[in-house]
Amino acid sequence: MTRPRIFETIAGLRADVEAARRSGRRIAMVPTMGALHEGHLSLVRAAQAKADLVIVSIFVNPTQFAPNEDFDAYPRDNDSDIAKLSELGVDAVFLPTVGEMYPKGFATGVSVGGPSQGLESVTRPHFFNGVALVVTKLLLAALPDLAIFGEKDYQQLCVIRQFVRDLNIPIEIEGAPTVREDDGLAMSSRNRYLGPDDRKRAALLPAVLRETLQALDAGTPVADALDRGRSRLTDGGFEVDYLELRTADTLAPFDDATRELRLLVAAKLGATRLIDNIPWSRAS
Ligand code: AMP
Residue minimizing CA distance to atom 5 of ligand 1: 32
Residue-wise pLDDT for 184-200, tens only, equals: 999 999 999 999 999 99
Phi, psi of 253 (to 5 degrees): -60, 160
> For this structure, is 40 an active site residue?
yes
Atom of ligand 1 nearest to the CA of 186: 19
What is the per-residue pLDDT for 140? 97
Rounded mean pLDDT, 116-132: 97
Rounded mean pLDDT, 25-31: 98
Residue minimizing CA distance to atom 14 of ligand 1: 150
CATH of region 5-176, choose from 3.40.190.10, 3.40.50.620, 3.40.470.10, 3.30.70.20: 3.40.50.620
Q: Are 233 and 267 in contact (CB under 8 A)?
A: yes
| Confidence band for 282, pLDDT divided at 50, 70 and 90 | very high
Q: Is 149 in the pocket of ligand 1 (CB under 6 A)?
A: yes
Residue 40 Cα to ligand 1 midpoint, Å, equals: 5
Residue minimizing CA distance to atom 12 of ligand 1: 150
Active-site annotation holder among 40, 137, 262, 273: 40
Q: Are 229 and 247 in contact (CB under 8 A)?
A: no
What is the per-residue pLDDT for 2? 81
Residue 107 Cα to ligand 1 midpoint, Å, equals: 28
User: In this structure, what DSSP letter does residue 124 have?
Assistant: -
Rounded mean pLDDT, 113-140: 97
CATH superfamily membership of 189-277 = Pantoate-beta-alanine ligase, C-terminal domain (3.30.1300.10)
Do strands 53-58 and 172-176 pair parallel, antiparallel, or not at all (unpaired)? unpaired
Average pLDDT in the chain: 97
Nearest to 160 by CA among 170, 146, 173, 177: 173
Please state, in angstroms and rounded to a whole number, the distance separating the CA atoms of residues 151 and 263.
Answer: 12
Two domains, one topology: 5-176 and 189-277: no
Every domain of the chain and the residues it spans:
5-176, 189-277
Residue 135 Cα to ligand 1 midpoint, Å, equals: 14
Instruction: Provide the percentage of residues in the chain whose pLDDT is more than 70.
Output: 100
Instruction: Provide the percentage of residues in the chain whose pLDDT is more than 90.
Output: 97
Residue-wise pLDDT for 157-187, tens only, equals: 999 999 999 999 999 999 999 999 999 999 9
